[in-house]
Chains A and B, each alone.
Chain A
Amino acid sequence: MRLLIRRLGFYLVAAWAAITFSFLIPRVVPGNPVATAIIRAETSGQCNSACVHAIELQLGFNVHTTLWTQYAQYWGNLSHGNLGFSWSENAPVGGLIVSYLPWTIGLLVVATVIAFAVGTLIGVLMAWRRGSWVEWVMPAAAFFQAIPYFFLALVIVLIFGQTGTMLKWLPSLFGYDIYTVTPGPNWSYIASILQHAILPGVTVVLASMGGFILTMRNNMLTTMDEDFVLVARAKGLPTRRVVTYAARNALLPVVSNFTLALSLVVSGQILVEIVFNYPGIGYHLYQALSELDYSLVQGIFVVITLVVLAANLLADVVYVLIDPRARQAG
């Protein structure tokens, strides 16, 4: 318990530092990119003078108060959930991010969980049945592990996607069919979401499963040489029980891998979302950057940081739950 409290303290400090940096960066970056962004907003015709003033306040441009006052204001806004105003989307940043997150979490988190579960299982099987046909999964896993996500995504779109040129089996653009389906709690909407999730989901599963397979297999092989596994066999326990003995222990380091992968979901899978024009947080981060909509970029960064820290905290909690040795450490 003390361990967790200490970790929590550490994460609070990290969150404070990240938020402070996101406040400082637009104010101290040389070459004044903020000025360029504001001109872009003014000339786009979507941003009236009130809107421009809001951006200036948010990014600290053309404001004649001290940095400390701005910093206090920034925290004040943040505590009300006010992350600024996005001119390109013409909406408050906070609300926008809330609308992006379910897409990213729904698709990528689920895909990562599947990759973890299936990958770990295959890893255990491979270690236990060393030398059997399961071994052939390994080069395939290593291959998918090695090629970049976005490249795999492009190949998948090309072969299976309706925007591709070959099989045209499944939709490969957007989170649902934006032309024929009305969003709402109706079946056609849900079916459309599921259909659109298949290709990006498969991409993420394929690309991230390899790592889980390989680490689990290697951990499992080391653990199986441990004396307590030998004893489990000597005890005459059924094979399934012996495998659980080994797998339960081999799983410990993999679980921390998994939670780290979860935190990467929000930030690291940007390219997958871009390829599929999937309306999650990564795709919108890319959009905001190309529009120079820095308020939105800043807000997304803050949220990503918080999600990464939360995932790490989750990793710590899970670790304490599954490893009795971590419980009393510290």
Chain B
Amino acid sequence: MTLGNAHLTPNAEVPADPAAGSAGVADPVLEIRGLCVDYGLGDEAVHPVVDCDLVLRRGHVLGLAGESGSGKSTLAMATIRLLRWPGVITAGEVLFHSKPASGERRTVDVLSAGEEELRSLRWSEISVVPQSALNSLNPVATTRAQFDDLLRVHRRNLSAAERVDRAVELLEMVGLTADRLRSYPHELSGGQRQRVMIAMALALDPQVMILDEPTTALDVVTQREILEELMSLRDRLGFAALFITHDLSLLIELADEIAVMYAGRIVERAPAVSLFRAPRMPYTHGLLHCFPPMHGERAAMEGIPGSPPDLRALPHGCAFHPRCPWAMERCRSETPTLVSLAESGRTAACWLHAGDVSVPQDLDLPDPLQPAPGAMGAAAPRFRRSSR
């Protein structure tokens, strides 16, 4: 399901970033370096996340896209150490750079934090709206009880009445009325439950919010409402968001930067508009051709042939090569690593960009954020439908 195709305009005019420094780039709030996650131990283990690097900047939205099973949720849950059994983090580093409204800056190494430190970090600094928020609320507790639980643990100085006031304030922030406090989750609609979940995620003014497919189970109209709500809250409160979805079209609207995952690896990372206009990695190119434009000429739809790889039996070399129209001999034997491209702020993991072969035209469109030599001021080319 794609959101609002009618508005498929990339977030080119990124709203004035309140947290951006004078250099124009905000400082990082969450840094993930070389993160590896295994499910299971020993030879039987599968590797849902391999060597992932991500930087989430203060006040930004970082989109993480990929097919089901590409490891995006695992990556997100690993960053706050919430992996389900038998997930284990085998390598890497997660740094949280805290810059509270009052108080001093500090950097927390999340992976080596003790249980208590982790507990104080969770939700108050990094909150989560998990996949299918429909099941994220305790079915036997009222909304009020669930807010209460949270505030009682993290805001010990609040009285019972103040906790209720805060809960009401939060509910109103997401467009719900105070009487929803008495409701049990089954008495709320899908959209309302999602709003309650978002209100809860905001309860402690976190610096980072992890949104794991927050709108997947909702219809398109509700999706739009909730996303708009979420983005206006982001502008107001200034939290940074790691937004996970399989729906790339959605990210193009909301995200500042997008990372695309395939078979546990990040295969391309770029500013949203660049990624949309000028993908560099064949997989990204394929994803972008999975949804139809509302305007413009009719074009044949193209999917990505084949199916997502089985993590237990990944192909040798580049995991995408069996489905890649441009696969070369090298792709079958060597795994490409994420390397910086000529354009600043972009990386891709693809041998086509290693410099020794000519890049196919489809993967070499000019990046709208880069001053194109000789074509200054020209509009970015229309999203081209390949006619292969």
Which residues from chain A sit less than 8 Å from chain B, CB to CB? 130, 225-228, 230-238, 241, 245, 248-249, 252, 322-325, 328
Contact = CB atoms under 8 A, between A and B. Distances in A.
Nearest to A252: B140
A275 to B, nearest CB: 41
Given A234-B80, A241-B153, A324-B186, A249 B121 contact: no
Contacts of A231: 128, 130, 136-137, 197
A250 to B, nearest CB: 11
B153 A235 contact: yes
B223 interface: no
A321 to B, nearest CB: 11
A227 B138 contact: no
A125 B154 CA distance: 26
Contacts of A325: 139, 184, 186
Interface residues of B, number: 34
Contacts of A241: 149, 153
Q: What 10 pairs between A and B have smallest CB-CB spacing?
A: A236-B122, A227-B135, A324-B184, A234-B128, A236-B119, A227-B136, A231-B136, A235-B123, A228-B138, A236-B123
A254 to B, nearest CB: 14
Contacts, number: 75
B131 interface: yes
A226 B135 contact: yes
A225 B197 CA distance: 18
A228 B136 contact: yes
Given A238-B119, A325-B139, A230 B153 contact: no
Contacts of A323: 140
A130 B149 CA distance: 26
Nearest to A328: B187
A235 B122 contact: yes
A249 B133 CA distance: 17
B120 interface: yes
A125 B164 CA distance: 33
Given A130-B85, A225-B84, A324-B184, A234 B127 contact: yes
Given A230-B84, A324-B139, 14 more contacts: A227-B131, A228-B136, A228-B139, A230-B130, A231-B136, A235-B123, A235-B153, A235-B200, A236-B118, A236-B153, A237-B150, A324-B140, A325-B139, A325-B184
B4 to A, nearest CB: 27
B132 interface: yes
Interface string B70-83: 00000001001010
17 contacts: A228-B137, A230-B77, A230-B84, A231-B128, A231-B136, A234-B80, A234-B128, A236-B120, A236-B122, A236-B153, A241-B153, A248-B138, A249-B140, A324-B142, A324-B186, A325-B186, A328-B187
